[in-house]
Homo-oligomer: A and B are copies of this chain.
Amino acid sequence: MAASVTLGVMGEDAVVGGLLKTLPKPASSVVTGPGDDCAVVRVHRARKLQLLKVDSVVEGVHFVSGEKMNRVGWKAICRSVSDVASMGGSPKHALVAVHASQRTSWSQLEALYKGIGAAAERFGISVVGGETGRIEGPLVCSVTLTGWVEEERLVLRSGGRVGDSLLVTGRLGGSLRNGHHLDFVPRLKEARWLTKHFKISAMMDISDGLAADAPRLALASGCGVRIDPDTVPRNEGCSIDSALNDGEDFELLLACRPRKVPKLLDDWMLKFPGVPLTRIGVLTAQENSCQPRELFKTGGYHHFK
């Protein structure tokens, strides 16, 4: 990469991927390093694997200035909960780092923490620490979450196989418009149920839009992907383009063997009658890449782009 290249012309995947190559080889305790929804590490003598995740919300990127700060706090925690859920795990402890300008009011921070506290309570998380610092810029709230997963229930992005059915929870699109991105409930209990009762090959949460995230799951699994656009469940008033590219859905995208799908759909409907689970496509051989092409040409939301 030319030294003068700025981040503005690179996608986030390229930036993160390039940077991580420069780091020393991880210790043997690391089961899964960067590239999945969470890192997975082995802890001496603990029965479960530990999940580690950091994720931030930035004013002007993940919420607009003037937004109700309790909703921002809720979102800051729930983004990371969604990542822990998509590995099959349960969240446990959180650290919260807030950087705000001197002009931020006490009541704004208090509201932010009210949202953080509400989400922590809802998902059984203890906020054990953090920091508050000054920044001459937008408000940034970074949440680090630890979690745990039974080894046999861990689901990676990379476990998909050619022929696996691809399914998605809920409905996609319009999240920024309808406010869903600020009050969504991460699919934690759904993911825990899935990994308890079914063999899920691969899973991730949809945060940058299906058009960006489905190829990521496919690539991690060494597969291509074919989506049937007519089957993609959309929120009211959303075009297929919007459902694929808006992002911030925080729904689960999962792969499993096709012969398991009928029972999975039946059992799901009984367990979660209010939440659709929809078969939207299939993992294909890698040389087929992402099909149909026109669905993936926009490629969802990318940082720095």
Contacts and interface: CB of A to CB of B under 8 A. Distances in A.
Interface stretch (A93-101, A190-198, A239-247): A93-101
A53 interface: yes
A5 B105 CA distance: 6
Contacts of A144: 52, 54, 95, 144
Contact of A3 (B7, B30, B107, B121): B107
Nearest to A22: B113
Interface stretch (A123-131, A155-163, A282-290): A123-131
Given A19-B113, A106-B7, A106-B10, A53 B133 contact: no
A26 interface: yes
A133 B12 contact: yes
Interface in A176-191: none
A160 B287 CA distance: 65
A135 B58 contact: yes
A99 B15 CA distance: 12
A294 interface: no
User: What are the nearest 6 A-B pairs in CB distance?
Assistant: A137-B137, A39-B128, A8-B102, A3-B107, A26-B126, A39-B129
Interface of A: 1-8, 10, 12, 15-16, 18-20, 22-24, 26-27, 29-30, 33-34, 38-39, 41, 43-48, 50, 52-56, 58, 60-61, 92-93, 95-97, 99-107, 109-110, 113-114, 116-117, 120-121, 124, 126-138, 140, 142, 144, 146, 148, 303-304
